Amino acid sequence: MFVPENRVVLKGSDRSPVHQSKVAGRSDPAEIIEVTLRLRHHPKADNKSLNVATRLSREEYETRFGSSDEDIQAVENFAHTHELTVVLSEPGRHTVILKGTVAQFSAAFGVELRQYEHPEGQYRGRTGPVYIPSALEGIVTGVFGLDNRPQAQPHFRHRPIASERALGAVSGTFTPIQVADAYSFPNADGTGQCIAIVELGGGYSTSDLTRYFQSLNLTKNPKVTAVSVGGAHNSPTGDPNGPDGEVMLDIEVAGSIAPGAAIAVYFAQNTDAGFLNAITQAVHDKTRKPSVVSISWGGPESTWTQQALDSYNQALQTASTLGVTVCIASGDNGATDGVTDGQNHVDFPASSPYALGCGGTRLVLSGTQITETVWNDGANGGATGGGFSAYFPIPDYQTGLIGNGTNRGVPDVAGDADPNTGYDVIVDGQSTVIGGTSAVAPLMSALIARINQSLTTPVGFINPLLYENPQDSRDIVSGNNNGFSAATGWDPCTGMGAPIGTELQSLLTTAVKKKIAA
């Protein structure tokens, strides 16, 4: 591919084809696509002040750290030079979205876009780096959407049972409310809060949700709203084994535990651009103002570009600055995260130091007696993800508390995820049981919403307090994830353990009051 003069390589933008894919031909040069550009913070901002203790409103953040007018104008000038249309420009999100043809974007960024065949379908892709004008070096930190390969997988698992069995009729499984009660969640319903849920495919049926929530005899039905990101919509497939299972699980777990909260479901395309845009749109949403975000999608760190790892991590750091807690599933494929190179891997974005990584357990109740072990269904089944990041260094809050690890350890917390002790739900009209770490992200999100309800300001980034106060979690000391074993204290299977809801509420309430008083 001819690379124009006065261009530089965009750091961290190298891509390789998906494993087992082959070139099928060149992409249609007339195809219209949208591409997301990630911009730096305001060049005059003191980025060192963006630490976990910082708390700003969305408006304050945009004023102090949002992309500068000059940087945005430089990007828009670049777009106009290449006859690209500016679809969106939001300084607080550090985002400019451009629209144009494949041919225009190929020339603008010095890439050759091709169609690739893969056993799971066809995608538009590129190899090598992205090139940007030298005038944009340091301004543009990421370019997403040239490649539209599926970036993430949902982290849910069905229990192999007859779908016609009634809710609550399967021995050893639970409604979300029963799990919340087992974990001593505080007596609240999330009133006044908004839980954002990120989805990268599938959809929900309002009639299914109504039927489900009525079956639980809730005092109120949660208000669920679909939010379109980049033209994606609530699109149920009718297949309970497909992404609808993820969408319905997330909504039904979060909604039944926090029925007083507004549930905003952000639907985006399953690409690196779509996923990033969904996160930033939810975090910066000035209308709905989510106080917690639930994400049950991800993929091995090795499948992400460096620019994606950095950009997503910065977006999650921004969430912590805005007082938004982001709960992310740690994966369902054990210590390898499904990678077949013989090495251990962790799932991203759960491995971001600014995520509350959510691992999985097997929960067994006998009256009020709890028996909880690491979720691991054996070599042919699922197991909780967990381990050590290959990219992110150990954050301060884990230093000295995760053994000899020198990098970020995953997960931070854990909850019931074994599909054999999973959640009774309804998907596409069918009663079924689903588990996976996907269930733990909305479970923890609903807990945070219940806690936030009684506070004047959301608890925000809770990881440091979790590690400083191990007594607020029930330690899981038995089991393994085919690479690491549970142990006293933090371990790379279940983190600090399962939450003790009322204890965590007391801890976070005290911390918030101290911050306000200061």
Please determine, for residue 357, whether its predicted confidence score (pLDDT) is greater than 50.
yes
Residue 127 sits in the same domain as residue 191? no
Residue with tokens 């790892």: 309
Split at pLDDT 50, 70, 90, the class of 379 is: low
pLDDT at position 511, please? 87
Give the DSSP letter of residue 282: H
Average pLDDT over residues 365-391: 91
The whole-chain average pLDDT of the chain stands at 94
In a domain, 343, yes or no: yes
pLDDT at position 171, please? 61
Nearest to 195 by CA among 289, 55, 280: 289
Nearest to 350 by CA among 371, 365, 329: 329
Q: Among 114, 144, 174, where does a domain finish?
A: 144
The domain in which residue 290 lies consists of 153-512
Instruction: State yes or no: is 246 an active-site residue.
Output: yes
pLDDT tens digits along 242-294:
999 999 999 999 999 999 999 999 999 999 999 999 999 999 999 999 999 99
In a domain, 517, yes or no: no
Residue 101 sits in the same domain as residue 214? no
pLDDT at position 163, please? 37
Tell me the C-alpha distance between 70 and 415, whole Å. 46
pLDDT at position 164, please? 37
pLDDT tens digits along 421-460:
999 999 999 999 999 999 999 999 999 999 999 998 999 9
Residue 207 sits in the same domain as residue 306? yes
In a domain, 27, yes or no: yes
Split at pLDDT 50, 70, 90, the class of 167 is: very low
pLDDT tens digits along 206-239:
999 999 999 999 988 899 999 999 999 999 999 9
* Residue 434: Cβ within 10 Å count: 25
pLDDT tens digits along 173-217:
999 999 999 999 999 999 999 999 999 999 999 999 999 999 999
Residue 352 sits in the same domain as residue 369? yes
Query: For residue 288, what are its two tokens?
Result: 């709905």
Residue 165 sits in the same domain as residue 292? yes
- Dihedral, CA of residue 327, residue 515, residue 509 and residue 373, to nearest 10: 40
Nearest to 5 by CA among 140, 146, 110: 110
Q: Which CATH number is 208's domain given?
A: 3.40.50.200
In a domain, 1, yes or no: no
pLDDT at position 517, please? 64
| Length, in residues, of the chain | 518
Residue 362 sits in the same domain as residue 409? yes
Q: What angle do CA 82, 232, 225 make, to 5 degrees?
A: 135
Split at pLDDT 50, 70, 90, the class of 169 is: very low
**Percent of the chain clearing pLDDT 90 (strictly above):** 87
pLDDT at position 52, please? 66
Question: Which three-class secondary structure string do you get for 417-480?
Answer: CCHHHCEEEEECCEEEEEECHHHHHHHHHHHHHHHHHCCCCCCCCCHHHHHHCHHHEECCCCCE
In a domain, 2, yes or no: no
Residue 235 sits in the same domain as residue 103? no
- Sheet with 430-435: strands ordered across: 157-158, 430-435, 423-427
In a domain, 219, yes or no: yes
Single pTM value for the model: 0.96
* Sign, Cα dihedral of 230, 234, 239, 243: positive
Please determine, for residue 368, whether its predicted confidence score (pLDDT) is greater than 50.
yes
Q: What are phi and psi of 65, to 5 degrees?
A: -125, -10
Counting the structural domains of the chain, the total is 2
Question: Which position has the higher pLDDT, 6 or 229?
Answer: 229
Tell me the C-alpha distance between 247 and 263, whole Å. 12
* Ramachandran area for residue 344 (φ above 0: left; ψ -120 to 50: alpha; else beta): beta
**Percent of the chain clearing pLDDT 70 (strictly above):** 95
Residue 240 sits in the same domain as residue 134? no
Residue 72 sits in the same domain as residue 33? yes
Helix residue ranges, H only, 148-284? 176-182, 206-215, 243-257, 272-283
Catalytic pick among 208, 250, 252, 472:
250
pLDDT tens digits along 87-105:
999 999 999 999 999 999 9
pLDDT tens digits along 390-403:
999 999 999 999 88
Residue 136 sits in the same domain as residue 258? no
The lowest-confidence range among 5-19, 47-61, 305-319, 351-365 is 47-61
Q: Among 144, 169, 184, where does a domain finish?
A: 144
In a domain, 364, yes or no: yes
Query: For residue 234, what are its two tokens?
Result: 């609530």
Q: Please, which residues have CB within 8 angstroms of residue 14's CB and are 6 or more apart in sequence?
A: 128, 129, 305, 306
| 387, containing H or E segment | strand 387-393
Catalytic pick among 311, 438, 445, 473:
438
Q: Please, which residues have CB within 8 angstroms of residue 48's CB and are 6 or more apart in sequence?
A: none
- Dihedral, CA of residue 359, residue 362, residue 365 and residue 370, to nearest 10: -60
Q: Among 113, 144, 175, where does a domain finish?
A: 144
Please determine, for residue 166, whether its predicted confidence score (pLDDT) is greater than 70.
no
Catalytic pick among 147, 199, 246, 472:
246
Instruction: State yes or no: is 438 an active-site residue.
Output: yes
Residue 367 sits in the same domain as residue 465? yes
Give the DSSP letter of residue 202: -
pLDDT at position 162, please? 46
Please determine, for residue 30, whether its predicted confidence score (pLDDT) is greater than 70.
yes
Give the CA count within 13 Å in the CB-facing half-sphere of 273. 22
pLDDT at position 85, please? 98
Residue 161 sits in the same domain as residue 70? no
